[in-house]
Amino acid sequence: MKKISIVIPMYNEEEVVMTSYLRIRKVIEELKQYDYEMILVDDGSNDKTLEILQKAAKENEKVKILSFTRNFGHQAAVTAGLRYVTGEAIIIIDADLQDPPELLPEMLQLWEQGNEVIYGQRKIRKGESAFKLLTAKMFYNILNALSDVEIPKDTGDFRLVDRKVVDVINSLPEHNKFLRGLFSWVGFKQKAYLYERQERQAGKTKYPFRKMWKLASDGIISFSTKPLKIVGGLGILTIILSILILIYSLVSYAFDLNNLTAGWTSIMVAITLFSGVQLLSIWIISEYIARIYDETRNRPQYIIDKKINVE
């Protein structure tokens, strides 16, 4: 009998955690041809999420819990769950039920047909603000414009992947993992699964603008060096502009055009332009250097405080 592993990251989800667990369990247990395990990762919640999870694990030994010492972030929680899976097919799904677990049987059918990565692609995103939709669209457009690897638009971490794909992901040594990008980068036979994303069942989003910005920067910096090339392009552009200003100044002086009476405007434009380009360049380069520094420290991406039903 084939085994399915369901990885569910959670952070302060006390309002929806039990509903989520019961719905996912009901869907999986109706698939009699599969064994299963549920790996619930508590990402340092400070509400009753862990307490509720412990009750579920006590009455069902197929529920395995990893609890972090603090909040390390969604990508770290998923990464931790992937390292403890034992199934042949691995499903990643959030606890907020925006990605309906009732879709899993159809995704499993696609896996049985030989697809090794089945990623959920949202054709409709219910309950999300215009700002969220706009920034998401901008993010994927910018990411794909800069990246050497095509990352499908309107996708999240909701997906079903074959065990051999997870083994490759687990073998990658990098610290700041942008998982949806890595799943595209590793290749294998991939299939989009179109679905309607639902409104959050309860609680509020755990992805404020600050975390969205961190995820976006991780994605761009992890999958592209083009921003560094843009820095070089800006440098060349400013050199050309400075030469044009010099030529203009010499021509004005030679022909006594009296266009340089005070010179304040041209000086200020040149100074502010060059200063802005320099600061922008330093910022972009520093982001890459910070990632290198983070990798060389070799600190763990997360620290597990408790393991329940985990061998």
The DSSP result for 8-19, as a single string, is EEESS-TTTHHH
Give the model's confidence band at 7: pLDDT under 50 very low, under 70 low, under 90 confident, else very high. Answer: very high
Residues 116 and 246 in one domain: no
**One domain for residues 241 and 277:** yes
113-122, 128-137, 214-223: which is most confident: 113-122
User: Band of the pLDDT at 1, cuts 50, 70, 90?
Assistant: confident
Three-state SS for 78-138 is HHHHHHCCCCCEEEECCCCCCCCHHHHHHHHHHHHCCCCEEEEEEEEECCCCHHHHHHHHH
Is pLDDT at 113 greater than 60 in this prediction? yes
Kindly state whether residues 198 and 235 are assigned to the same domain: no
Q: Which domain holds residue 275?
A: 226-297
**Rounded Cα distance, 29 and 23, in Å:** 10
Same domain, 208 and 255: no
Same domain, 158 and 274: no
Report pLDDT for 223: 64
Rounded mean pLDDT, 78-99: 89
| Most confident of the ranges 62-66, 98-102, 215-219, 254-258 | 62-66
The pLDDT assigned to 200 comes to: 58
pLDDT value, residue 20: 86
Res 91: pLDDT: 92
- Clarify whether residues 127 and 273 are in a common domain: no
Residues 59 and 195 in one domain: yes
Same domain, 218 and 253: no
Q: Are residues 46 and 177 in the same domain?
A: yes
Q: Encoding tokens for residue 201?
A: 């069942």
Lowest-pLDDT choice from 68-77, 133-142, 159-168: 133-142
More confident position, 191 or 137 = 191
pLDDT surpasses 80 at 168: yes
State phi, psi for 73 to the nearest 5 degrees: 110, 155
Question: Is 206 a residue whose pLDDT tops 60?
Answer: no
Strands (E), the chain: 2-10, 34-42, 63-68, 89-92, 117-125, 155-162, 190-197, 304-308
At 208 the three-state DSSP class reads coil
Residue 261 sits in the same domain as residue 203? no
Task: Indicate whether 14 pLDDT > 60.
Answer: yes
d(CA 58, CA 67): 15
d(CA 305, CA 67): 6
pLDDT at 92: 92
pLDDT at 272: 65
Least confident of 49-63, 109-123, 233-247: 233-247
pLDDT tens-digit profile of 226-236?
Answer: 666 676 666 67
- Clarify whether residues 211 and 235 are in a common domain: no
Task: Inform me whether the pLDDT recorded for 186 exceeds 90.
Answer: no
Reply yes or no on whether the pLDDT at 216 is more than 80: no
- State the average pLDDT for the chain: 77
Confidence of residue 41 (pLDDT cuts 50, 70, 90): very high
CATH code, 92? 3.90.550.10
Q: What is the pLDDT of residue 95?
A: 84
Question: pTM of the entire structure?
Answer: 0.69
Does pLDDT of 87 surpass 70? yes
Q: Give the model's pLDDT for residue 66.
A: 92
Per-residue model confidence as pLDDT tens digits over 119-146? 888 776 565 556 566 666 666 666 666 6
Q: Are residues 20 and 69 in the same domain?
A: yes
- pLDDT for residue 19: 87
How many distinct structural domains can be found in the chain? 2
Of 118 and 225, more confident: 118
Largest distance between two CA atoms of the chain? 92
